[in-house]
Structure 1
Amino acid sequence: MKSLDPKPQDTPQNSPDNNRDAAQSSALVQQSPAAASQRARFSLRSLMQGDLGFIPVLLTLALITIYFQLTTSGVFLQARNLSNLTQQIVAIGILSIAAVLVLLLGEIDLSLAAVAQACAAIMATVSVYQNWNPWLAMLVALLSGAVIGLLNGLFIAVLRVPSFIVTLAGSIAYAGLLLVVMGPQTTLVVRDPTIRALAPTYLPPALGWGIPLVCLALYAAGVWYNQRRRSQVGLPIKHPTQLVLQLLAATVVVLILMFLFHSYQGVPQAVMIALGLVVIFWLVLRKTPFGRHLYAVGGNAEAARRAGINVVRMKLTVFILASTLAAFAGIMMTSRSTAVATQISSTLLLNAIAAAVIGGVSLFGGRGSVWAVVLGALVIGSLDNGLDLLNQDQGVKNIVQGAVLVLAVTADAVVRRAGFSRGK
């Protein structure tokens, strides 16, 4: 008796892609928890994945450091220069966190630098001319950034105008807002001691040593807890050698940096603020539903919508957060320079996006970590600082930074194509 079922080749469910997915699902179902919890075989390939996937960027940073250390006769790694370098990249790092959030969403925000400068001008104006409380002035700047982000998000998420167009137009408009707020002045000096002390202050030795060591201990405990939980539920766990290398690398980096900082004037407060923001957003992205939804929308917005995720709300939230972070970056820049100018840095936006991409955040959305900000900002800052020590002009610095950004984007595209070819 002939079957009434359609022929296999006529059934969409029997396509090669679906057969492959079914086979993979069957293998996962048949896999026992004991087999799943086995330690992964340690190899160089496994080391380059997961939490240690930043090793290529770390090697790049090491090569840059060695080159400038040799060409500057040892000045580059002096404690004073390293302290200045880390403070110089604080604003770039905070702005890069905003760029990471938007890039993970699969969008772009070209107005971040203009928003930072415009919100800083609003803070400076109410502080200088209206004599507002410094904390209230900073709060107004942050709220201004949030309103700008909401405006951007409404055009992008609700009206579905491409983010490139919206934020490009926004960068022009917010640069105009900066000129309106500043009035006839080209530079406005901020004299409030609270605002001026926010960035250049150094932590006392007890806090300078205590906070990093406590954070290092919490990180080690988190790694151990995550390994234990994955083993209990039958998920693959890392090889002990990889765990040891991961914790050893973190410990060595922290101790070296603390020693260098304390051999000069201590740990800069601005650096700890920036690292605190990185930790906060890392926890939000990795440990909360919001973070999982963000990665899902960035990976495939339509699939995320069908899974019940409110894509419009996610986009609105991300653009509000990004512009608020940009406003905070503007506050930190003002604190360090003690003034606001009508001239927006031509490389600030480039450096922020470059730091994110160099650190491994995909321009196509859905892949990357907020920790990319740290290494990416260090690479950008080291190039800028080292070329300054070699007395190179701005043209040379722009060429070098542009070349590094192109290489990072090329590497991202190659990795993405390789992932598609492997069916990932």
Structure 2
Amino acid sequence: MTTTANRPKSAPDTGTTSPGMLRSYVDKIRGGDIGALPAVTGLVVLCVVFSILRPSFFTPGNFANLIPQGAAVSVIAMGLVFVLLIGEIDLSAGFASGVCAAVLAISLTNFGLPWFVAAAAAIATGSLLGLVLGLFVAKVGIPSFVVTLAAFLAFQGVVLLLVEEGTNISVRNEVIVAINNANLPPWLGWTLAVVAVAGFAAVQLTRRQGRLRRGLRAEPLATVLVKVGGLAALLGVSVFVLNLERSRNVAITSLKGVPIVVPVIAVILIAGTFLLHRTVFGRHLYAVGGNREAARRAGITVDRTRILAFVICSSLAAVGGILAASKATSVDATTGGSNVLLLAVGSAVIGGASLFGGKGRIQDALLGGTVVAVIINGMGLLDLGASIKYVVTGSVLLLAAGVDVLSRRRAAATGSL
């Protein structure tokens, strides 16, 4: 006879089942680790509101326009994540993209160089600018705010010099122009979507099996399948909508397919995610941002890590400049100026990257960039003026920064930080 005393007890839920994973996620939120939840929630709310106020918001044509419009800012924001992770800021990223765009345009138009040589020169220029900024911050010891503010002004002057005090340099190279203006054939869009889902599934399953072999806690198979299914549904719907005919006069021209800039951004996203989460350098970035002195005592070369963060930031700013030049098919004194920097910083912070360092993912910038693009696009459809756009975007940025501060305060109070 089995008594109460010797009856087997049920094992505690350690988070290896789907309900346990859900409880763990709720506990993380209660502890202040809210991740990208505010940005995702805000994006859903914005899309619902704009689609109700302006049904044209959810048309294939408008959906397709959102992507190239926000591509340059999103890529610059991806670079800023690397600097934000170490607790620094780069106020020169906007005009750094303008300098690199000018180098691209001059290389193509004035010197007639091949597109790949011109693009490489632009990215190399960005890397050099980032190296200079990083050296001043890490080796000389000048605060990044001061260094990059000075560079903000200096790079603006460099752009004026390169475009000869205000002239417009046209970009006519077909390959460069196509990057942010042309579309993939419909069949290629579907092929890339299938490859993306298959690759994501392979990575998730491989990681799960690896953790199980080492005796570590792993996500339930059902959770992994839900993630893969969610990505498949998202990509499937997106590709289907983008492959719909968007031209108002099909007899003259056909306009359908996934924008070419989408796989370009996807490659940057995958490479950046791998760098941050699968390399020693990525772990060093988080360590330096979390506690610089502790990282130094742990044997991390802090100065080199900080310098490389600025190099990567300016290199991605160069890619953003190339995308901006592609979209406008020209470069002038305003390229990289105006509100580009503010929108890029806003995108990174709105997506979930912390201004205090040690917290952020490269996909946060892409998510935040989508939120900013939706705000600007939706208010444009509502025929609201630039003043309202700035007020709303600034308010959203302030709200995101406030959420970051409150979540860190909550994490510190609960011992999660």
Same-fold call, TM cutoff 0.5: yes
Distance 1:391 1:81, change over 3 A: same
| AA aligned opposite 1:46 | Y
1:152-200 Cα offsets, whole Å, 9 max, x none, are 0110011111001000100100000001111143322122223222221
Residues of 2 paired with 1:184 and 1:411: CA distance? Answer: 42
1:132-152 Cα offsets, whole Å, 9 max, x none, are 222212211111111111110
Residues of 1 paired with 2:107 and 2:360: CA distance? Answer: 38
Residues of 2 paired with 1:98 and 1:208: CA distance? Answer: 26
Instruction: Name structure 1 gaps, 5 residues minimum.
Output: 1-33
Residues of 2 paired with 1:304 and 1:210: CA distance? Answer: 43
Matches within 5 A, 1:19-168: 38-39=16-17, 41-43=20-22, 46=25, 53-72=35-54, 74-168=55-149
Contact 2:66 2:377 in 1 (8 A): yes
Who is 1:319 aligned against? 310
Distance 1:44 1:60, change over 3 A: farther
Who is 1:414 aligned against? 406
Distance 1:400 1:132, change over 3 A: same
Who is 1:309 aligned against? 300
RMSD of aligned C-alpha atoms?
A: 2.1
Q: CA deviation at 1:44?
A: 5.5
Residues of 2 paired with 1:35 and 1:348: CA distance? Answer: 48
Return the match for 1:234 from 191, 215, 233: 215
Q: CA deviation at 1:57?
A: 2.1
Who is 2:279 aligned against? 288
Secondary structure in structure 1 of the residue aligned to 2:56: coil
Does residue 329 of structure 2 align to residue 348 of structure 1? no
Who is 2:328 aligned against? 337
Secondary structure in structure 1 of the residue aligned to 2:378: helix
| AA aligned opposite 1:180 | L
Q: CA deviation at 1:235?
A: 2.1
Residues of 2 paired with 1:405 and 1:316: CA distance? Answer: 27
Q: What TM-score do you get using the length of structure 1 for normalisation? A: 0.87
Who is 1:386 aligned against? 378
1:227-272 Cα offsets, whole Å, 9 max, x none, are 2222222222234554344333222211111111111411101121
Q: Count how many residue pairs are aligned between Structure 1 and Structure 2.
A: 390
Mean alpha-carbon deviation: is it higher for 166-175 or for 255-264?
255-264
1:261-296 Cα offsets, whole Å, 9 max, x none, are 111411101121012101110011111111111111
| AA aligned opposite 1:262 | N
Instruction: Name structure 2 gaps, 5 residues minimum.
Output: 1-11, 246-255
Residues of 2 paired with 1:53 and 1:322: CA distance? Answer: 22
Q: CA deviation at 1:92?
A: 1.1
Q: CA deviation at 1:101?
A: 0.7
Secondary structure in structure 1 of the residue aligned to 2:331: strand
Does residue 205 of structure 2 align to residue 224 of structure 1? yes
Who is 2:396 aligned against? 404
Distance 1:241 1:413, change over 3 A: farther
Residues of 2 paired with 1:328 and 1:272: CA distance? Answer: 14
Q: What TM-score do you get using the length of structure 2 for normalisation? A: 0.89
Contact 1:37 1:234 in 2 (8 A): no
| AA aligned opposite 2:206 | Y
Matches within 5 A, 1:179-194: 179-194=160-175
Return the match for 1:170 from 141, 151, 155: 151
